[in-house]
Amino acid sequence: MRAGMRIVAAPVLLVALLAGCAGKAGAGASVQADREPDENGELRLADAKTPHAVVGEAFVTAALPQDNLDSPASWTAPDGKRWVIATAKKTGELVVFDGDSGQRLRTVGGKGAAPGQLDRPNGISVVGDLLLVVERDNHRVQLFSLPDFAPLLVFGMDELSKPYGLWAGGKGEAIEVIVSDNYMRGADEKTVPALAELDHRFRRYRLAQEGGRWTATLVQTFGDVTPAGAIRIAESVFADPANDRLMLAEEDTAVGTRLREYGLADGRYRGRDVGAGLYKAQAEGIALMACADGGGYWIGTDQFKDRSLFHVFDRRTLAHVGSFAGKLTANTDGVWLDARGDGRFPSGVMYALHDDQAVAAFDWRDIAAALKLKACAR
C-alpha cells in the first residue's frame, strides 16, 4: 500500500428496505438564499477570460426558485419517453420533467424521514429501472423503483455524516454505489478536517436483490490523506468501469479546485489531477459520454455564477479538448449525460442545473459541432 493512503475495510452491514429553463425570462435571476457553505463567492466567467465556445441551450425549464434544485438524472419510460428527475433540496421533493420538452410533469416525495420522504436530497443516479438519491440531512441514500417511485431500500445511516454525491453502476440484481461524505469540523461545520481525518471521504456499497428484497453491504471506506491526493471538499463523483477510473471533484479552492483520478477497483489516488489551473471557479458536476469504440468524453462543471463553464476531456487520455458555456445556464451543481438518441436528441443530450431553479438541456450534436469532437457511435 502506498504511503499516505488509507483503505479501511468495513464490516459487513446488511440493511433492508430502501438504497449528488423554458421560461428564459425570470430563469436568469440568481437565487442567493440557501447557498451551500462551500460555494465559491461570486466568481464570474465574464472576468475569467477562459477560452470557450458558446452552445445555445435546447431548452431551459421554467424557473422554480422555491425548490432549490441540485442535480438531475434521466430515465427512459416504457413508452419511450425520456424523463429528467431533479432533486429539490428545499422542498425534499423529486421534480420530474419531460426530457425532450422541459415540461414539468409531477413531483414526488416531500420533506421527512419516512421511506419515500426526503430531507435535503442532493446527488441522484439512475441504473436501469432503479433510482438512487442521496439525502444530506437524513444522512442516508434511498433506492426507488421506476416508474412508480416506490421506496425499496434506505442505507448508510450508521456511517454517513454529510453525504452529497454518488455514482452507481452495474446490472440486474447487483449494483455498486460510491457515495461522497463531506463531513466538516468546527461549530459552523465549515472547517476542512485535518488530512489524517480524510480517510473516509468515500463509502462503497454493494446492493443486491435476493428473493425480491434489496440489501446494502458496506464493503469499503476510502480516502487519500496525502496533501497531493486528499479530497478536502467532496461532492461530485463519477466512474468509468471500462478504464478502472474514478473521477472525484476537489472543490477546495484554497488548494486548487480540479478533478482527481482514483482507481475504481481499489479507491486509491493515482497521482494524477485533471484540469488543474483550468478550473477557476469550483469543480462541480461530472459526467461521461462513452462511445462504442472505447473513446468518449468527460465533462466537468466549473461553477461560475454568471454562466457555468463545462470543460471537456478525452475519455482515454484525460487531455483537455475544449470548453463551452451556454447562453444562460449559470451556477451549475449537477449534470447528467444521456447517450440515448431519439427524435428530439438523435445523438444524446446533456442536462445541467441552472442557478438552483431550472434544468437546461444541451443537444450533444451542438456540443460536438462547437468543439469539433469526433463522432461518438453508441
Q: What is the DSSP string of 40-82?
A: -TT--HHHH----EE---SEEPPP-TTT-EEEEEEEE-TTS-E
- On the question of a cis peptide bond just before residue 147, with omega within 30 degrees of 0, the verdict is yes
pTM for the model stands at 0.90
Query: What's the CATH code, domain 5-27+47-358?
Result: 2.120.10.30
CB atoms within 10 A of CB 154: 23
Please report the pLDDT score of residue 36 as a whole number.
58
Identity at 375, one-letter amino acid code: A
Alpha-carbon distance values, 71 to 63, 67, 125, 221, 285 (Å): 15, 12, 9, 24, 8
Identify any residues that bridge with 151 across adjacent strands, giving them in sequence order.
144
Reading the block at residue 69, the C-alpha cell is 434544485
Tell me the torsion sign for CA atoms 237, 283, 291, 366: positive
pLDDT given for residue 378 in this prediction? 80
208's CB contacts (< 8 A; 6+ apart) are 173, 174, 175, 214, 215, 217
Q: What are the grid coordinates assigned to 242, written together?
A: 471500462
User: Which amino acid is residue 214, in one-letter code?
Assistant: W
Q: What is the C-alpha separation between 21 and 377, in angstroms, rounded?
A: 29
Note the pLDDT of residue 14: 32
pLDDT at 25: 35
What per-residue confidence (pLDDT) applies to 39? 56
Residue ranges of the chain whose pLDDT lies below 70 = 1-41, 172
Residue 198 CA: distances (Å) to CA of 156, 255, 268:
18, 15, 13
Q: Is 373 helix (H, G, I), strand (E, B) or coil?
A: coil
The amino acid present at 19, given as its one-letter code, is A
Q: Measured between alpha carbons, how far is 378 from 376 in angstroms, rounded to an integer?
A: 6
d(CA 301, CA 249): 9
State how far the Cα of 186 lies from the Cα of 183, in Å rounded to an integer: 10
